Structure 1
Amino acid sequence: MLDVVTELLDPERCYRAVASRDARFDGWFVTAVHSTGIYCRPSCPARTPLQRNVSFHTTAAGAQAAGFRACRRCRPDAVPGSPAWDVRADVVARAMRLIADGEVERGGVGGLAAALGYSERQLHRLLTAELGVGALALARAQRAQTARVLIETTALPMADVAFAAGFASIRQFNDTIRAVFATTPTALRPATPRGDGGAPGRLTLRLAARAPFAADEVLLFLGAHATPGLEEWDGTTFARVLALPHGPAVVRLSPAPDGGPAVTAELRLTDLRDLGTAVSRCRRLLDLDADPAAVDELLGADAALAPLVATAPGRRVPASPDAAELAVRAVLGQQVSVAGARTLTARLVTTAGRPLAEPVGTLTHAFPTAEALADADLSEVGLTGARRRTVTTLATALADGTVTLGPGVDRGEAERTLLALPGIGPWTAALVGLRGLADPDVWLPGDLALRRSLAALGSSDADAATRWRPWRSYAVMHLWALAVPSLFTRGPLPERSVS
Structure 2
Amino acid sequence: MTATRSVTTSLPSTFRHRDFLAFHQRDKTELAEKVDGNLLRKGMLINGVTCCLSLELNDDYARLELDADAETPPLDNASLMSLLIHMLGLNQDIETFESQYHSHPEISRLLAHHSGLRIPQTVTPFEAITWAITGQLISVEAAVSIRRRLIETTGKPHSSGIWCSPDPNTLAATDIDTYRSCGYSNSKATTIQRVAQMLVDNELDLSLSANPLAVSRDLLSIKGVGPWTVSYTLLRGFGYLDGSLHGDVAVRRNLQQLLDCDEKPSEKETQAWLNDFSPWRALVAAHLWAMQSEQGY
Of 20, 25, 31, 1:229 maps to: 31
Matches for 1:94-113 after TM superposition, within 5 Å: none
Q: Which amino acid aligns with 1:465?
A: L
Matching of residue 447 in structure 1 with residue 256 in structure 2: no
Other-structure match for 2:198: 397
Give me the CA root mean square deviation. Answer: 2.5
Matching of residue 263 in structure 1 with residue 72 in structure 2: no
Q: 1:232 to 1:212 in 2, by over 3 A?
A: same
Matching of residue 420 in structure 1 with residue 221 in structure 2: yes
Q: Which has the higher contact order (CA 8 A, sep 6+)?
A: 2
Contact 1:351 1:376 in 2 (8 A): no
Other-structure match for 1:465: 274
* Secondary structure of 2:41's aligned partner: strand
Contact 1:283 1:289 in 2 (8 A): yes
Of 283, 287, 290, 1:474 maps to: 283
Other-structure match for 1:327: 129
Q: 1:225 to 1:301 in 2, by over 3 A?
A: farther
Matching of residue 287 in structure 1 with residue 98 in structure 2: no
Q: Which amino acid aligns with 1:241?
A: G
Q: Which amino acid aligns with 1:355?
A: P
* Secondary structure of 1:469's aligned partner: coil
Distance 1:404 1:273 in 2: 20
TM (norm. structure 1) is 0.52
Matches for 1:183-194 after TM superposition, within 5 Å: none
Matches for 1:114-263 after TM superposition, within 5 Å: 201-203=3-5, 205-224=7-26, 228-234=30-36, 236-245=38-47, 247-256=49-58, 259-260=59-60, 262-263=61-62
Distance 1:239 1:451 in 2: 33
Contact 1:203 1:268 in 2 (8 A): yes
Q: 1:323 to 1:415 in 2, by over 3 A?
A: same
CA drift at 1:291: 3.1
CA drift at 1:388: 1.7
Matches for 1:402-413 after TM superposition, within 5 Å: 402-413=203-214
* Secondary structure of 1:285's aligned partner: helix
Structure 2 segments unaligned to the other structure (5+ residues): 260-264
Contact 2:204 2:218 in 1 (8 A): yes
Other-structure match for 1:337: 139
CA drift at 1:207: 2.3
Distance 1:315 1:476 in 2: 11
Contact 1:233 1:239 in 2 (8 A): yes
Identity of aligned residues (%): 25
Of 480, 485, 492, 2:293 maps to: 485
Q: Which amino acid aligns with 1:485?
A: S
Other-structure match for 1:348: 150
Q: Which amino acid aligns with 1:391?
A: I
Contact 1:220 1:235 in 2 (8 A): no
Q: Which amino acid aligns with 1:281?
A: L
CA drift at 1:336: 2.0
Bigger Rg over Cα: 1
Other-structure match for 2:181: 380
Q: Which amino acid aligns with 1:213?
A: F
TM (norm. structure 2) is 0.85
Q: 1:209 to 1:236 in 2, by over 3 A?
A: closer
Distance 2:248 2:230 in 1: 12
CA drift at 1:282: 2.4
Q: Which amino acid aligns with 1:277?
A: S
CA drift at 1:273: 5.5
Q: 1:225 to 1:318 in 2, by over 3 A?
A: farther
Q: Which amino acid aligns with 2:252?
A: R
Matched pairs, number = 281
CA drift at 1:210: 3.0
Distance 2:2 2:218 in 1: 41
Structure 1 segments unaligned to the other structure (5+ residues): 1-198, 490-499
Distance 1:392 1:273 in 2: 25
Matching of residue 315 in structure 1 with residue 117 in structure 2: yes
Q: 1:204 to 1:394 in 2, by over 3 A?
A: closer
Distance 1:226 1:268 in 2: 23
* Secondary structure of 2:67's aligned partner: strand
Distance 2:246 2:233 in 1: 13
Deviations 1:84-122 (A, max 9, x none): xxxxxxxxxxxxxxxxxxxxxxxxxxxxxxxxxxxxxxx
Contact 2:27 2:145 in 1 (8 A): no
* Secondary structure of 2:244's aligned partner: coil
Distance 1:371 1:266 in 2: 25
Q: Which amino acid aligns with 1:268?
A: D
Deviations 1:123-179 (A, max 9, x none): xxxxxxxxxxxxxxxxxxxxxxxxxxxxxxxxxxxxxxxxxxxxxxxxxxxxxxxxx
CA drift at 1:426: 0.7
